[in-house]
Amino acid sequence: MTETTLKPREIVERLNRHIIGQAQAKRAVAIALRNRWRRQNVPRELADEISPKNIIMIGPTGVGKTEIARRLAKLDNAPFLKVEASKFTEVGYVGRDVESIVRDLVEIAVNMVKMQEQESVRAKAAEIAEERLLDLLLPARPAEKKVGDMLADIGSSHDKGQSLEEQALSFDATREKLRQLFKAGKLDHRVVELEVSETRSGPMIEIFSAAGMEDMGLNIRDMLGNVFPQKRKRRMLKVPEALEVLAEEEAQKLVDMDKVTKTAIDRVEQSGIVFLDEIDKIVGSDSSHGPDVSREGVQRDLLPIVEGCAVNTRYGMVKTDHILFIAAGAFSSSKPSDLIPELQGRFPIRVELDSLGKEEFIRILTEPNNALVKQYTEMMATEGIKLIFTKDAVASIAEIATIVNERTENIGARRLYTIMEKLLDDISFDAPDMKNKEIKIDAKTVEKKLEDIIEDEDLSRYIL
């Protein structure tokens, strides 16, 4: 079930915090997410008939296609998988089976739900772990000892004039004192011997077989795990470390994996998002020798997944009818209409993303929550250096990025990473030894540092 009740306008506002521009694409994904909520609130018999309106994003690299899809999934806390369409091939050809998309998405969902369940039982697990730790620090209670030990204790207690009841009361008092010391942190220096599960390491089993068999390796490892129980080893750990290990073990025991699996499959079916990148790379080339099976074959294999089918996974059957597919590609040497007609019909919404220019680069450098200027400023602050970027410096960086994108290859906002790294190369290297702890970067500094690279077009092709 979708977890967000945000209105489309609110979804766009949230996306604006991280992605600059691309209003049309943000609008399309916001409507798609809201439609998912609407479908879950219509009568059940009609809800099953409403299919998601999949989207194709068209635009050059580095303009925010992947980031929009990733942030959208994060807003809805939905299972999200990004895959390159070109890594899949038609059945019978070398490559991954397209059904592995669904299997991978289910694995992601299971891990997500498992982590959430572990968090919900964390407090209970901590209590049990504390009791186990106290058991390690103290011997067992008299009532919990074996018969032979108890008979021996009876003989010794007669000698000391102490009954078993008195011993038990004394034990409980000692345990409570120990608990108080533990909570006060006075036992943190103590070392305890703990038996922990050993990470199983064995030969990796690779199976090269027909499509649909690629997860057989996992099943064989599971079977071997049942035949050969997991080894345990003894470790000497300080009390805080031992508590963490015990709490983690107890949290895993408290999680109901049947419930986790059921919830994960439901989440994949109702709110899963798959981002199919580089979809233009599987457009068949114009050929007079028949269909291009290595590309068109991928499209035909993708078709049932996108249309809606049941895929067998290690956790059970998963229906893909309501998974949202967002495809993306530059389509520089092809166009969406070159896709096979059946696949085109399953992506009814097409949005074109704009190329980024100087104004967008200025905003990208300064406005988002994770803006590049903020990132570098905070990183240098860890060395005690106050890094200051003037407005004209930011404008100069944006202008250089635009020029290099026009001269060489347009890689969008990713060009800013290369320019910023080159600009701050010396500062990043010398930062720990610098005596001047305030560095101001203005337009002159930027031009001086990057002057040779910008003037020499051949050099800029290699360096930027």
Q: What is the pLDDT of residues 31-43, one digit of tens each?
A: 999 999 999 899 9
* Average pLDDT value for residue range 351-369: 90
392: confidence class by pLDDT, cuts 50, 70, 90: very high
Q: Quote the percentage of the chain above a pLDDT of 70.
A: 79
What was the pLDDT predicted at 68? 94
| Same domain assignment for residues 279 and 334 | yes
What is the average pLDDT across 39-67? 90
In-domain check, residue 427: yes
Residue 94 reports pLDDT greater than 60: no
pLDDT > 50? residue 202: no
Q: Which residues pair with 387 in a beta bridge?
A: 439
Same domain? For 229 and 111 the reply is: no
The answer, yes or no, to whether residue 249 has pLDDT greater than 60, is yes
d(CA 14, CA 8): 10
Give me the domain span that covers residue 157: 122-254
**Centroid of chain to Cα 145:** 48
Do 134 and 219 belong together in one domain? yes
Q: List the beta bridge partners of residue 351.
A: 57
Confidence of residue 16 (pLDDT cuts 50, 70, 90): very high
List for the chain the helix, strand, coil content (%; round to 5): 55, 10, 30
Query: Which pLDDT value is given to residue 199?
Result: 58
First to last CA, the chain: 45
pTM of whole model > 0.75?
yes
pLDDT at 203: 46
- Residue 97 resides in a domain: yes
* Same domain, residue pair 273 and 299: yes
The pLDDT assigned to 144 comes to 47
The strand pair at 349-352 and 324-329 is best described as unpaired
Residue 26 has pLDDT above 90, yes or no: yes
Task: Determine the 3-state secondary structure of 75 from DSSP.
Answer: helix
Of the three residues 212, 235, 254, the one that is the final residue of a domain is 254
Do 362 and 449 share a structural domain? yes
Q: Say which amino acid occupies 398.
A: A
Nearest to 374 by CA among 16, 18, 61: 18
* Whether residue 369 is found in the same domain as residue 405: yes
Of 22, 53, 60, 18, nearest to 39 (Cα)? 53
In a domain, 314, yes or no: yes
Task: Note whether 270 and 348 are same-domain residues.
Answer: yes
3 inside domain: no
Q: What is the mean pLDDT of residues 422-433?
A: 89
Together in a domain, 110 and 133: no
Least confidently predicted of 1-5, 123-127, 175-179, 450-454: 1-5
Q: What average pLDDT does range 181-206 have in this prediction?
A: 69
Q: Of 213, 235, 254, which one is at a domain's C-terminal end? A: 254
Partnered with residue 258 across adjacent β-strands are: none
Question: Which of these, 39, 70, 71, 66, lies nearest to 53 by C-alpha position?
Answer: 39
97-101, 198-202, 216-220: which is most confident = 97-101
Give residue 464's pLDDT.
61
In a domain, 395, yes or no: yes
Q: Which residue has the tokens 């404008």?
A: 395
Q: How confident is the model at residue 182 (pLDDT cuts 50, 70, 90)?
A: confident
- State whether residue 138 is helix, strand or coil: coil
What is the band of 192 on the pLDDT scale with cuts at 50, 70, 90? Answer: confident
Q: Residue 1 domain-assigned?
A: no
* Six-digit token string for 212: 């649909």
148 pLDDT above the threshold of 50:
no
β-pairing verdict for 80-84 and 349-352: unpaired
- Give the ranges where 146-254 is alpha helix by DSSP (H): 147-160, 164-183, 216-227, 239-254
pLDDT at 105: 94
**How far out from the chain centre does Cα 162 lie?**
60
Same domain, residue pair 61 and 133? no
Least confident among 105-114, 126-135, 309-318: 126-135
CATH number at residue 316: 3.40.50.300
Q: Quick check: is 2 in a domain?
A: no
Q: Total structural domains in the chain?
A: 3
CATH of the domain at 441: 1.10.8.60
Whether the CB-CB separation of 37 and 2 falls below 8 Å is answered with yes
Of 81-90, 102-111, 134-143, give the range with the top mean pLDDT: 102-111
Shared domain for 286 and 300, answered yes or no, is yes
410 within domain boundaries = yes
Same domain, yes or no: 282 and 200: no
Last residue of a domain, one of 224, 254, 284: 254
pLDDT band at 95 (very low <50, low <70, confident <90, very high): low
Q: Provide the pLDDT for residue 312.
A: 92
Does residue 396 have a pLDDT over 60?
yes
- Which tokens go with 102? 């669904």
Between the alpha carbon of residue 246 and those of residues 136, 239, 253, 254, 334, the distances in Å are 11, 10, 11, 12, 57
**Same domain (yes/no): 99, 207:** no
